[in-house]
Each structure stands twice: as structure tokens, then as C-alpha cells.
Structure 1
Amino acid sequence: MSTASIALDANEVRQHFPYFTDISSALSPIYLDNAATSQRVQEAIGAVVSSMTHRNSNVHRGTYDLAVAATEQFEADRQTIASFVGAQANEIVFTKNATEALNLLAHCLREADAPYGLRQDDTIVVTEMEHHSNIVPWRQAARATGCHVRYMRPAADGRVDISTLHDAITTRTKIVALAHVSHLLGTLTDLAPIVERAHQVGAMVVVDAAQSAPHLPIDVTDLAADFLVFTGHKMCGPTGIGVLWGRTELLHALPPFLGGGNTLDDLSLTDMTFAAPPQRFEAGTPPIAEVAGLAAAATFLSSLGMERIRRHDRTLTAHALQRLRADRRVAVLGPYDPEQRGAVISFVMEGHDPMHLAQRLSAAGIAVRAGNMCAQLAHDRLNLRSSIRLSTYLYNTTDDIDALIDALPSPRMVLT
């Protein structure tokens, strides 16, 4: 039997995470807030420490042995991260997180020459399900260029309504930006028809993979999008490191986001020539140790198998949906089919404020998120002010789900 067909053992996985193995772990809550950030795998922690202690030099600068070794490892790590999503190393731009990657892209498209640059009366299409990080940069770009932001409403089950694509994505559309997996509704979006329609009219597709890259296999060639972003801290890696992937020809067509060291090929009193991507977009000293940590996290996840992680998530999601739907007071946001979801489930409970529910769960030793989840437009569409969200990962078990649901208020209890 191949490893790929063997179910993931969360208890074995936990042995790689200090959160679960440290002597103080008995005091740690049941962690179901993985959509906000995951726990850190020991391999990533070790890689960060090793980078800082054994290869502590700047990269792409010095010619002495230590600097050369640091640079070679840095670029090897870039290749590892590229391979994780089926990309080429020169298509991977390092940022501090997915939010910065989206801001970088929106800013560069504001400044780019035709035919890629945003111009007056162009349209940027986003969905109402998006995280604010995939709305605000485009709104800012629209304000600066005179183009317009258009919103696609989700269908009743929280999925993108494919029947509206031709009306929403037109010959004026320059950018279509959307999440692969919604951080609120959990929706796993079928990108193929959206990409196909966008490319029919000459638009570029930007995919926010912050909630999908940690949980399911991604190959940018298969997705056929034009840009994709994700972040390290949601996939067992360190904070302070994010990724922008872009098609080679598109990255070459964009101007730099920031100016400074490492972004130039040549500078004179009257002219300057920018370096080729990805260095063009990586001004100053990069997050060297953080890149090492992300590469180690990607290697760890790949060793387990992303399809195994996806199946594990799906098992937990199915169990959580079954138990939540058994309570008539609970309304689950998004699709009910676990095949159409990522590892995120948001819900509301009749008669109970989500913030108070989260406090109750915290008192019971369970960590979840409550609030608007940086998704005000989606909550407005659902006539809600807030919700409560549980989000699982490779080290969670059905026992964790049961503990959460068993800690919810009984039908006679009201939290106001």
C-alpha cells in the first residue's frame, strides 16, 4: 500500500509540533483557529534557528564563503517553495505575508504600462466573500486610476454563481481577484470556469490561496491563473514570510513595488535599469531565516502528502458539519457538502452572541475565532454582524470537534 493511500494519523503528526509535545502543552487549548495561523512545526523552527546560527550572512551581496553559502541556501529554499506549488523558482517573489503580496500586485498594476496596467474605466472583479486584504488594495487601485471595482455575489450556498460569469466578467475587466478557499464560508471555488471566462476577455486572474495552499495540492500550471498568493504562518511555517507567484512574462511586465538595494541592474545619474524578477520586487535585505522556515514547512507537508492532508481535513469537516447540523439552533455558513469546502466552518447559534460563545469556549479550553473575520461584505450579505469560526488542520482530531460542540450552550442557556 502506498503512503498516499494511508490515512493521516494526527497523533503521530503532533509529535512534530512543540505546541503538543512541550511540557506546558497540557495547559494549551484545543487549537481550532488554524485559519488565522497554524502551529509551528519543529522542522521549520529548526531551519530558522540553523539559518541564524550557521549561515548568518546577507544574500546576493558578499563574495566570501559564508555569504555564498547563505545565498545558495536561500535560492535552494526558493526552489523548494516553488516546487511546492508547481512553479519555477524565478516566478516566486518573497513578501512578508499574503496581504503584502496582494498590495504589491495591486500597486504594480497601477503603475504598469499597457496592456497590463490599470486604466480609467477598467473593471476589477472581486467576490463579496473576500478577505479585506483582497478588497482594499483593489479599492485603492481603483481610486488611484479611475477604474471600477465590481462585486460578484455568492449563490445561496456560498459558492460563486457560475451562471453570472458572462455578465460579471466583460471586455472591460482587467483583473479578477478571488479566494481559492473562503476564509469565512469555507467555499472551495472551482477556478476553471472563472479562469476560462477571464482569459476569454483578456483579463488576469489573481488567486488568494492563503486558505488552500496549506491544505490541498496546488499546481499553478493546472490552475492556469496568472498570479497566486499564500503565506507561511498558515502552513506550519514562521510569520513574516509570504509568497507572490506570477507568470514569468507578467512579472517581467511589472515595475518594482519598492526601490532600493537588489532591485537594480544599473544606475547612472540620468537612468536606471531594474533587475529581472524576482529580485526586482525584493528590495533590501529579504527575510532570509523566514524563507528557510517556510521551505522546511513545505518539505514537511510534502513528506506527509497534500492529498492525505486534504482527505484528513475533509473527514474532520464532515464530522463537524454532521454534529453542528444536528442542533437546530445552529446555522452553518457556506456549503454543506464537505467536498465543496476547505477546512473552515463558520456558524451562528440562535440566541447567542458569537463573541460570547467564543469566550465560553475559551473558558472550556478551546481556541476559535469570532467576529467579522475581516469579511464585512460577506457578513452584510448574510445579514449578520459576526459569526464564530472553527478551522482544523493536520494535527486536529474528531475528539477536538466533539469537545467544541459539547461545550456549546445547552438549549436552555442563553448568552447575551
Structure 2
Amino acid sequence: MKRRLALAILLLVLIAAILERGQLLAWGTALRLSFGQTGGNTPLLASGTIETETIDLSSQAGGRIIRLNVTEGDQVAAGDLIAELDTALVDAQIAQASATISQTQAQLALLKAGPPPASIEVARAGITQAQAASAAAYTAWQDAKALLTAPDSLDVQIINAQTTVQVAQEQVAAAHALATAADEEQALWGRIVAQLEKGYDIPSPQPGGGTVHVKAPAAQLSDAYLQWNLASQKAWQAHAQVDIATATLATARQTLSDLQAQKVTPQSQQAQANAAEWAYRAAEAAVDVARANLDVLLAGAQAEQIQSAQALVEQAEASLKALQVRRSQAQVRAPQAGTIIETILHRGEVAGPGSPIARLGDLSKVTLTVYLPESQLALVHLGQSAQVMVDSYPGRLFPGRVVEIADEAQFTPQNVQTREQRATTVYAVKISIANAGGDLKPGMPADA
């Protein structure tokens, strides 16, 4: 009977242990945590997972990764280059911005320096030219008005134009005659040159007769070439005079035709007078514009123009600085010392702005978050020591200390009505663990 009672008690103890072990594993992941004695002889056990604070290493600019200098597990110091992105586009933009700065600075310097003396002289020459054009336009206007008030003068102009046409016709005829004579002279010297180049066949003075070929003297041939070239030039000039005389005759005939048309239709004289007046008014306006241009040059740039140019320079400089910042963001550096926990992207892949390229963690300080039911929460307090064990290092204890206890329960049902439901409510407890050697790794299951 006693033997059966002992077996029953042992069976109950084993069942209770199994149930307790199942509850602990529901709180964590195969990890046992010992908070030391809880007022009795039984230590408080809990479970969780090793964690550490991590930093996502990324670039605000984004781009294609052309260099990745780390792999998982590498130790890095603060400032170490982790990755480098392609900068071809931003480099081109920086060059363009630098050129814009040079251009705007040059414009600002010109405004501050004022117009060069050469520009002032050109402006003054423009006034003189405009005044000359105005004077000529005024003369043409007055001549047109004279034709309206003195019709007889038109007859005189027609007679003069007829005379000019006759003279031009004679000049054309004379030019043609000169051109013909020049052509004949050129042809003559051409034949002479050809004969001299060919040489002469003369009877032989030797008995038996026959002929002897004799070359022309070199000096004679050279002089013939010279005269032929001069004759060619004269012929070209004579034909050029024909073209000039012909053009002069055409102009004289057009002038005569216009004058005769004016006599037949007097209304055209009024139209010409009006057109001459408009041309004179336009020439006077051109004089005013030229004078205004000179006044602007002598006055120099206004304060508003200089301020606007200065603003353009500052805007270009700000754009360059922004591009240089983007250029620096192409280099992803470690903000602090630590261990590369994970490489997320690889060389050749495109990283978006803010997308993590690698993950950095400080393994010298790790934490363990465990979950305790409400019934055991009163047994834990801040600063309480703890002993942590992991499966990777059997029998080794890692000292820790409670640094945070949650104020609110987790995994709590919406309506907690019964004592049994309240008993399943759990609270997070965070424990800080010294890890100077880096033996504990994030995600490692542990017992404590």
C-alpha cells in the first residue's frame, strides 16, 4: 500500500513538473532564466531570447551599390566605410553647378565694374551713325515734298534720267568693244605661246636638204607667257566693266521709269513723300534710342540689378552645396563601433533612399526580455541580479540585472473576468547582460 502511494506521489510530481515546463516554454523560446532565490528555496525561472539594439545603415540619396566593404560578423569602428554608391550623375550635376557659379559671379563682377570704355565709345559711335541716317532721311523727305510743290522739277529729273540712260548705253557699247579687243589680244598671245612651245622647222643648210627643228629661246617663251597672262587679266577686267556698265544702265532705266510713272500718276508722289517722312521719323527715333543706350551705360548698373545678380550667385552656391551633401551621402559609414549583424543588399543592387544596406549592432551590451505571469511579478524588482545560461555554453553563467519592468500586461484578453484568466496575464521584464567577449548573439535561445 505504501509502495503504491509513493508511486502515485512521484507521478503527480512529474506531471506538475511537465505542466510547469510547458508554461515556461509558452513564455519564451527554450530559454531558462534564474532570478535567484525568491524568498524560498525555489528559484524563479523564465525564458526569452537574446536581443541587442541595431542600427540600419542606409543612404538618404540612394543609388546603385558599387562597393560593399563588410560581411556579416565583421567588426567596424566609428567612421568606417561600409558601402559606396554610384556618383556619376551627381558628379555631372556638381560640374554643371560649378559652371553656373562661375557664370553668375562673372555677371555680378561686370555689373559692379560698370561698362568698359570700349562699350561707351561704341554707343557714342552709334549716336553719330543714327544722326547721319536721320539727316539723309530728312533730305529725302524734303526732296519728295519739293516734287509735290514744284512739278516742273520732275520734268527736269526725267530729262536728266534720259541723258543718264543714253550715257549708260554708250558706256555699255564701249565696254563691249574693249572686251572684244581684249579677247582678241588674249587669243593672239595664246597662239604665240603655242607656236613658241612647238618650236620651228627650218630648211637644213646641209647637202641633201631636209629640215631642222629649232626650239624657241627660253627668254622669248617666258616673255610670251607674261604677255599672255597680262592679256588674260585685261580681258577679265574688260568683261567686269561690261557687267558694271550693264548694271548701271539697268539702274538708270529703272530710275527713268519711276520718274515717268510719277508724272503719269501724281498720287504716287504723295505716297513717296509720306514714306520719306515716316523714314525720317523712324531715323529720329533711332537717334533717341542710341542716346538712351549711352545714358544707361554711363549711369551703370542699378542697385536692384546688383542685388538680383548677387541672389543668383547665392542660389547657385546653395545648389552646389546641396549636391555636395548628396555626394557625401553616397558613402555609407558606421556611426559607431559594433558588429555587422546582417548584410541586406549586395554589390550591384540598387538601394532606395533610406533603404537599409546593412545592420549594425553593439554586442558588448545585450538584453534578454522574459515574460512573467502576474502572480510572479511581485517577486521581481529593478536592479535585481539574474543568472543567464545559453545552450551554446553549457554550465556557463552570464550575470545580468533587471533594468525594466513593463507597466502593462501583454497578451491580455479584451475582457478579463475570472481569476483563471487573470492568472494567464504576463508582463515583460528586460534584463541587461554584460557581453564584453561578444559570446552572446542576437536571437540565441538561453536558460536562466
Name the TM-score, length of structure 1 as normaliser. Answer: 0.16
Name the TM-score, length of structure 2 as normaliser. Answer: 0.15
Higher percent of residues as strand? 2
Higher percent of residues as helix? 2
With a CA cutoff of 8 Å and minimum separation of 6, indicate the structure with the bigger relative contact order: 2
